[in-house]
Amino acid sequence: MIKLVENMALPREGFFWIIDNKIIGYSIEVPQYNYEYQLEGKTHQNTWESIKPDGCDKPFDYYPRGRVMVDPTYDNDNKFDGYYIMIFADECIKTQQHKDMIIDYYNLDVSNIKFIKWMNNLKQRAGIEHYSCHGCRNK
Ligand SMILES: [Zn+2]
């Protein structure tokens, strides 16, 4: 008999860049209960100097980047009921390979994830420069 093994690790949230097909970023675990947001005040801009690859002289907004938000949700009895995920990303982050990398890095393939919403087109929809890399800005 085959026993299904669930991935019991917790999903993570945070922000990232994709540089040379690798993810570089911050991530923290999101527990099912008593979650406290730990990224307060940390942004792409103010962490870039400490995260960027050695010798890199590009500004923080040069490479494609994005953010993963993980929300635990509860039923009417306050019982944990699953995670909702929102992923905001540069519009050039759209291949399945990129999505798989993000899902893997943030451990978003756990069984109790109910929903993943990808938001890659904020620029078109809102007319804002949210998460647009050097390449996208120069198109
Ligand atoms: Zn881009």
pLDDT digits (tens, 9 = 90+) for 82-91: 999 999 999 8
Q: What is the 122 CA–ligand 1 centroid distance (Å)?
A: 12
Least confident stretch, 32-46, 76-90, 113-127 = 113-127
CA 108/CA 25 separation, integer angstroms: 15
Cross-strand bridge partners of residue 17: 24, 65
CA–centroid distance, 124 to ligand 1, in Å, is 13
Q: Tell me, yes or no, whether 67 lies in a domain.
A: yes
- The structure tokens 């010798």 sit at 55
> In the Cβ-directed half-sphere of 46, how many Cα atoms lie within 13 Å?
5
Q: Read off the pLDDT band of 35 (50, 70, 90).
A: confident
> Could you say which DSSP state residue 2 is in?
P
Range of the structural domain that residue 125 is part of: 12-27+44-50+57-137
Residue 5 lies in a domain: no
Which pLDDT score, from 0 to 100, does residue 87 have? 94
* Interval between CA 65 and ligand 1 midpoint (Å): 8
Q: Tell me whether residue 1 is in a domain.
A: no
Looking at the structure of the chain, the number of domains it has is 1
pLDDT of residue 132: 87
C-alpha 16 – ligand 1 centre gap (Å) = 13
Dump strand ranges (E) for 1-139.
Answer: 12-19, 22-25, 28-29, 65-74, 80-89, 113-119
| Distance of CA 128 from the midpoint of ligand 1 (Å) | 14
* Integer Cα distance of 71 and 60 in angstroms: 26
Cα–ligand 1 centroid distance for 74 (angstroms): 35
